[in-house]
Amino acid sequence: MEQLECEEVSEVVCLDSELQDGQMKEVEVDHQKILLVRNEGQFSAVGALCTHYGAPLIKGSLMGNRVRCPWHGACFNTTTGDIEEFPGLDSLPIYKVKVENGKVYVTRNKKTLTKRVKEMSSGEPGICHTILLIGGGPASLQCAETLRQNNYQGRIIMVTRDEQLPYDKTKLSKALNIESETILLRSSEFLKCHGIEVWTEKKVVSMNTEEHTVTFHDGTNQHYNQLLIATGTRALNIQCPGAELENVKLLQSYKDAIEIYQLSLDNKVVIVGTSFIGMEVAAFLSDKASTVAVVGKSDVPYRFSLGPDIGKMTMQMLEEKNVSFYMNDGVAEIQGENGKVKQVLLKNGDVLPADVVIIGAGVIPNSDFLKGSMVEVDSRNAIIVDKFMRTNISDVFAAGDVASFPLSIHADKRVNIGHWQLAQAHGRVAALNMLNKQTKLHSVPYFWTVLLGKSIRYAGYGEGYTDIVFKGSVEERKFLAFYIKGDKVVAAASLNFDPAVSRVAELMATGKNITKSEAE
């Protein structure tokens, strides 16, 4: 008993009267930051830092008993500490709170960490049931962990063509020279401990849904009872003479990132495409390559996703760092010498010297192995799923960038969106439905991009927007943009305006419509 008391520390953190309903306060107990929340008269206390990248949740958005991270939109229940919306894998620790004589006491155990892993089962040897997860990204990992959190005890096999265990791919384009150990989502010990088998460098070439088997490139087969397809997308190469030359690179894997980084140092880089990845790579290499040139089809980057004003601003940010832009243009030919890139000839006749060419010109779903199977795909070859992430075959599910799914905030029209957070949400929903715990997907897309240390955040689904209403100033690089369709806000983007986008995402998640006049 004495030992337990030594391990626990209680401190007065504030007066009862200091916090009203719907308010939160960051407090400290024994040098650990804790978030104190009052909701419906009750106090609760959870970890103060988002488990994804450590953002201070006090700067986030609180609605009811849910706090949403200001940086990337992860949500946590302030009563249980559980993660309820992604990104991130772990929940928050919870702390004991009591109110006595108008003072609020919070107790913490000295062993409590800043993250809490939900309780998970592991496999039971005697159970003859296998769930196969194809793909080693966030959707598969979240699916595996959700299965174990819900006491699934069969066999879980995750198959990836990558050499790495599941890692945080969002960091590759933002920091090409990152250490592989620092971006692993889970350690191999963690995966082993919870009975999650990961087979690396394994490529699926075909599947037979009637026989419940999958065939790999090495000729081996694997039987499954239930299957998740989360194979993601792959980068498109451009169709032009010279595209096959050495040093023409696509950024798809950790290995690609390291290669691109090494080839670009003090060299002349040409980036084809003003995608989010293309722009992030341009920003990262702006002070490392000798020159960086970006070739884009429209007049400004992000014209259709974020709009012309924000596009122009991002272009100016990069131009200030000596990145040059060749817009409204395309590549006619990549010219080389001895099989290596020498220069890029543009359609308008301009010639750009190049030691490395990086292609960021869009992606296509990895679904070729489904040819000849019964699984339904759409015109873009994305796999069609319902709100439960089920395909047209009852025991086959799909999730992440490869899936075309009904989006609740878009009148349940099917969309295909490549966001990290959505892939995790898909994986969770698929797992629950595999276990017959009927759960519909109800997630608001949340996305971020980082350019030169500045984060642009985006929530909602803005396709086909007709108008943009701005608060703040794009020129001063401090703004909130509302994307309007008809009379309704369908998306929001911001820079230096936290936690506005998280607030909008939370309103959308609760089903509240923001009208154009409210935005104005």
Expressed in angstroms, the distance from the first to the final Cα of the chain is: 60
The answer to whether position 241 is within a domain reads no
Residues 6+ apart with CB under 8 A from 379: none
* Same domain membership, residue 369 and residue 318: no
Structure tokens at 152: 């699934």
Q: What is the pTM (predicted TM-score) of this model?
A: 0.96
Residue ranges of the alpha helices (H) in 230-307? 254-264, 276-285
CATH number at residue 202: 3.50.50.60
- Residue (of 306, 319, 316, 320) closest to 479 by Cα position: 306
Q: Which helix (H) or strand (E) element contains residue 502?
A: helix 500-509
CB 460 within 8 A of CB 505: yes
- Alpha-carbon distance of 143 to 178, in angstroms, equals 26
> Residue 2: its pLDDT value, please?
47
In a domain, 115, yes or no: no
Which ranges of 246-332 would DSSP assign to H, the alpha helix?
A: 254-264, 276-285, 308-319
Question: Are 484 and 469 spatial neighbours (Cβ–Cβ below 8 Å)?
Answer: yes
Same domain, 224 and 297: no
**Which of 485, 518, 419, 493 minimizes the C-alpha distance to 74?**
419
Look up the domain containing 279 and give its range: 248-360
Residues 392 and 330 in one domain: no
Of 337, 360, 383, the position where a domain reaches its end is: 360
**Which one of 360, 382, 416 terminates a domain?**
360
Q: Are residues 160 and 98 in the same domain?
A: no
Q: Is 123 inside any structural domain?
A: no
How far apart are the C-alpha atoms of 461 and 444, rounded to whole Å?
Answer: 8
Coil, strand, or helix at residue 145? helix
Specify whether 151 is located in the same domain as 89: no
DSSP letter assigned to residue 386: -
Report pLDDT for 295: 98
Residues 396 and 334 occupy one common structural domain: no
Q: Are 483 and 490 in contact (CB under 8 A)?
A: yes
Q: Does one domain contain both 180 and 134?
A: yes
H runs (alpha helix) in 131-245: 138-149, 180-183, 188-193
Q: Are 303 and 317 in contact (CB under 8 A)?
A: no
Instruction: Look at residue 133 in the predicted model and tell me its pLDDT.
Output: 98
d(CA 131, CA 155): 6
Residue 504 sits in a domain of what CATH number? 3.30.390.30
* 442 belongs to a structural domain: no
Task: Evaluate whether 32 touches 20 at the Cβ level (below 8 Å).
Answer: no
Give the number of domains in the chain.
4
Report which DSSP code applies to 180: H
Residue 249 contacts by C-beta under 8 Å, 6 or more apart in sequence?
256, 259, 260, 263, 356, 357, 358, 359
> Domain check: are 6 and 153 in the same one?
no
Assess whether 58 and 41 both reside in one domain: yes
Give the pLDDT of residue 4.
Answer: 54
pLDDT at 113: 87
Question: What are the b/e assignments for 114-142, b being 16+ CB within 10 Å?
Answer: bbbeeebeebeeeeeebbbbbbbbbbbbb
pLDDT tens for the 520 residues of the chain, in order = 445 557 899 999 999 999 999 999 999 999 999 999 999 999 999 999 999 999 999 999 999 999 999 999 999 999 999 999 999 999 999 999 999 999 999 999 988 889 999 999 998 988 999 999 999 999 999 999 999 999 999 999 999 999 999 999 999 999 999 999 999 999 999 999 999 999 999 999 999 999 999 999 999 999 999 999 999 999 999 999 999 999 999 999 999 999 999 999 999 999 999 999 999 999 999 999 999 999 999 999 999 999 999 999 999 999 999 999 999 999 999 999 999 999 999 999 999 999 999 999 999 999 999 999 999 999 999 999 999 999 999 999 999 999 999 999 999 999 999 999 999 999 999 999 999 999 999 999 999 999 999 999 999 999 999 999 999 999 999 999 999 999 999 999 999 999 999 999 999 999 999 999 999 8
> Is residue 441 one of the residues assigned to a domain?
no
Do residue 427 and residue 461 come from a single domain?
no
Same domain, 351 and 389: no
Rg, C-alpha atoms of the chain: 24
Tens digit of each residue's pLDDT (9 = 90 or more) over 245-296 = 999 999 999 999 999 999 999 999 999 999 999 999 999 999 999 999 999 9
Whether 118 maps to a domain, the answer reads no
Is the separation of the CB atoms in 29 and 8 below 8 Å? no
Residue 377, domain member (yes or no): yes
- Distances 482 to 317, 461, 477, 485 between C-alpha atoms, Å: 22, 11, 15, 10
CATH code (residue 38): 2.102.10.10
How many residues are listed for the chain in this entry? 520
Residue 122: inside a domain: no
96 and 18 assigned to the same domain:
yes
